[in-house]
Amino acid sequence: MPIREITTKPYLDQKTGTAGLRKKVAVFQQPHYLENFLQAIFDCVPELKGQLLVIGGDGRYHNRDAIRTAISLAAANGVARVVVGQGGILSTPAASHLIRVRKASGGFLFTASHNPAGPDGDFGVKFNIAGGGQASEALTTRIYEQTKIIGRYYVLDGTEVNLDRCGEQQLGNTVVEVLDSVDDYAQLMQQLFDFDRIRDWLKRGHSLRFDAMHAVTGPYAQRIFVDLLGAPPGSVSNAVPLQDFGGGHPDPNLIYAKHLADLAYSSESPDLIAASDGDGDRNMILGRGLFISPGDSLAMLAANLALLPGYRQGLSGIARSMPTCRAADQVAAALKVPLHETPTGWKFFCNLLDAGQATICGEESFGTSSVHTREKDGLWAVLAWANVLAATGLSVQELAQQHWARYGRHYFARHDYEELDTALAENLMRQAASLLPTLAAQSFASWTVTQADEFSYHDPIDGSVAAAQGHRIICGEDARVVLRLSGTGTKGATLRVYLERYVREAGALNWATGDAVAPLAAAIDKLARISELSGRRTPDVVT
């Protein structure tokens, strides 16, 4: 089979965001578009040659086409072995795990996470490096530079791979191995958690509902909850991955999974309700009559993690993204372990995890995971909760109440203003930035500003610096507001406003979150002139 060199012209928009290159499907369908991007990766990462590459995606529209293209380029660029999930399916955490267990030199993950799918939806690609984590800022910058000057790429002709049949297929000098998408991941989960105990918990009449939202986690949840843990089949809903996610928006939060919140507050509520997103890295946790915010989930899991088999040795540290509420900081202090604060995006956790400085990490955007993989992991979080409930005998409600009574409660909400005009959003951020130096010691709602600045991260492991990672207005421990622009959108700009308020008094632990953070929302709106400049009276999405 001949390797062909194809002449191409650069596209100038292949800069990656918070999590890979994300564009409308139609953008990816332009001639040579994906090929250029992948070739730029092969050009920048010569270590892929002669080595193993993992390929998979969340099953969204264009997944199979993209995987065929990727296999053809991989073979033409001298990759020795390609490992691909059956049907082209791999959840993001499962792909990261495969890269690790198979000692691959990297992986291509085709996903736009929770962004809607289908011909008019979004598509995306992430490059993960050896070790399983997302490529660093330095590497993605090099790849971007290469996409701007690329003039050719290589393909292997006649590369018809059957993605549905498990086993090996020879493609020129490259072996393509199609494997079961779930096996390795399910095995890992059984090493980390006490499956007997969770099975027993379910047998004793506790119930669980997991909504796969017609996205990638369906087969994983089916195998783990139903086949291995013995939950009744109805425990997993929307388990069949669909190319358009059933027309839905598999973003597990109170807006797009509102039906789960309704279930939690109904008389039929199971003991544990959960959902994941398009590519399986996010999670939402609810109990009877209670939604657990992601920042709380991180803190509560951290506080109880040592009860679980994979974590008996205790925690080496906790890491959270800067906008994530500071609930985990209280737990880290109590456990006397370091708390790391990183910029938004999972890639910033990987150095800490590799260096053994963090055991559990989390983001307010419904992301939680541990040192077991190098991506956030939706099902891991659900299993961790199930295991903690089974081990403590507490309900979600009891666990949360005890946690807040001990550590205090961080009320948290994120207000998103979506698809703003990009220049307008940048102007708003610039104006807000110019005010930051004047805010210290000023009053902000009913608090006093102790620190106001732009967050800049100094990676303690490799010394790299990530600047301009969001504006923060901090009022001691009591309150904090963060502003930043999203790096994952495919249209216009999205402004994210993160609101956090901390209380300790016993009578203040069960307020409605919206009420608790309302004064902060009003104060930041006035200060940053959000409604005035954006023309929006309210945010588009509140999570």
**Which residues form the catalytic set?**
113
Phi, psi of 379, deg, nearest 5: -70, -30
Select the residue interacting with Co ion from 35, 58, 122, 277 (CB under 5 A). 277
Q: Which is nearer to Co ion, 140 or 169 (CB)?
A: 140
Q: Which does 365 bind (CB under 5 to 8 A by kind): ligand VG1, Co ion, none?
A: ligand VG1
Cβ nearer to ligand VG1, comparing 69 with 113:
113
Checking 423-426 for CB contacts under 8 A at 24+ apart, the result is: 424/493, 424/533, 424/534, 425/485, 425/492, 425/493, 425/494, 425/495, 425/534, 426/485, 426/493
Which 493-512 positions form the footprint of ligand VG1 (CB under 6 A)? 496
Cite the DSSP H helix spans in 365-487: 378-392, 396-407, 422-435
Between 39 and 488, name the residue whose CB sits nearer to ligand VG1.
488
**Quick check: 344 and 484 in contact, CB under 8 A?**
yes
Length of the chain: 543
The reply on whether position 345 binds ligand VG1 by CB under 6 A is yes
Query: Using the rule CB under 6 A, is 346 a contact of ligand VG1?
Result: yes
Among 279, 296, 416, 500, binds Co ion (CB under 5 A): 279
Q: What is the C-alpha separation between 250 and 162, in angstroms, rounded?
A: 28
Choose among ligand VG1, Co ion, none what residue 525 binds, the Cβ cut-off being 5 to 8 Å by kind. none
The yes or no reply on residue 373 touching ligand VG1 (CB under 6 A) is no
Which span sits near ligand VG1 by CB under 6 A: 176-184, 267-275, 483-491, 534-542? 483-491
Residue 91 or 359 with smaller CB distance to Co ion = 91
Considering CB under 6 A, how many residues would be counted as binding ligand VG1?
18
Query: Under a CB-based contact definition with an 8 Å cutoff, are residues 372 and 380 in contact?
Result: yes
What are the strands, taking DSSP E only, across 288-433? 290-292, 318-321, 339-342, 360-363, 367-370, 409-420
Is 21 a binding residue for ligand VG1 by CB under 6 A? The answer is no
Query: CB nearest Co ion: which residue?
Result: 113
211/78 Cα distance (integer angstroms): 40
- Binding to Co ion (CB under 5 A) within 99-118 occurs at 113
Question: Helices then strands (H, E): number in the chain?
Answer: 17, 28
Cα angle for residues 94, 169, 45 (degrees, 5° grid): 55
Tokens of 88: 């082209």
488 in contact with ligand VG1 (CB under 6 A): yes
Q: Which is nearer to ligand VG1, 183 or 540 (CB)?
A: 540
Stretch that binds ligand VG1, among 53-61, 290-298, 360-368, 519-527 (CB under 6 A): 360-368
Of 487 and 492, the one with the shorter C-beta distance to ligand VG1 is 487
For residue 374, the minimal CB distance to ligand VG1 (Å) is 12
Contact between 281 and Co ion by CB under 5 A: the answer reads yes
Decide if residue 18 touches ligand VG1 (CB under 6 A). yes
344 is an interface residue for ligand VG1 by CB under 6 A? yes
Among 281, 377, 459, 525, contact with ligand VG1 (rule: CB under 6 A): 281
Report which of 137, 95, 124 is spatially closest to residue 24, judged by C-alpha positions: 124
Residue ranges of alpha helices (H) inside 158-256 are 183-192, 195-203, 217-221
The b-or-e profile of 143-178 (16+ CB within 10 A means b, else e) is bbebbeebeebbbbeebebebeeeeebebbebbbeb
Calpha distance 247→273 (Å, rounded): 22
Q: Is residue 519 near ligand VG1 by the rule CB under 6 A?
A: no
Is the CB of 252 or the CB of 317 nearer to Co ion?
Answer: 252
Locate tokens 């954006």: which residue?
Answer: 534
Q: Is 489 helix (H, G, I), strand (E, B) or coil?
A: coil
282 binds ligand VG1, rule: CB under 6 A: yes
Q: How many Cβ atoms from other residues are within 10 Å of residue 462's Cβ? A: 11
H runs (alpha helix) in 14-134 = 25-28, 33-44, 63-76, 92-101
What minimum distance in Å lies between the beta carbon of 96 and ligand VG1?
11
**519 contact, one of ligand VG1, Co ion, none, CB 5-8 Å limit per kind:** none
CB of 463 to Co ion, least distance (A): 29
Closest contact distance (angstroms) between CB of 28 and ligand VG1 is: 16
Asked if 478 and 447 touch (Cβ cutoff 8 Å), the reply is yes
Closest approach, Cβ 114 to ligand VG1, in A, equals 6
Rounded-to-integer distance, Cα 190 and Cα 145, Å? 42
The nearer residue to ligand VG1, 252 or 310, going by C-beta atoms, is 252
365 binds ligand VG1 (CB under 6 A): yes
Structure tokens at 212: 């796969």
Pattern of binders to ligand VG1 over 109-148, x per CB under 6 A? ----xx----------------------------------
Tell me the two tokens of residue 141. Answer: 């910058």
By CB under 5 A, is residue 35 in contact with Co ion? no
Among 36, 136, 238, 486, binds ligand VG1 (CB under 6 A): 486
What DSSP string describes 498-511? Answer: EEEEEE--GGGTT-
- Least gap, CB of 487 to Co ion (angstroms): 13
Shortest separation between residue 376's beta carbon and Co ion, angstroms: 7
Say which amino acid occupies 466: A
Q: Binds 340, which of ligand VG1, Co ion, none (CB < 5 to 8 A, cut-off by type)?
A: none
- Chain positions contacting ligand VG1, by CB under 6 A: 18-19, 113-114, 277, 281-282, 321, 344-346, 363, 365, 367, 486-488, 496
- Chain positions contacting Co ion, by CB under 5 A: 113, 277, 279, 281-282
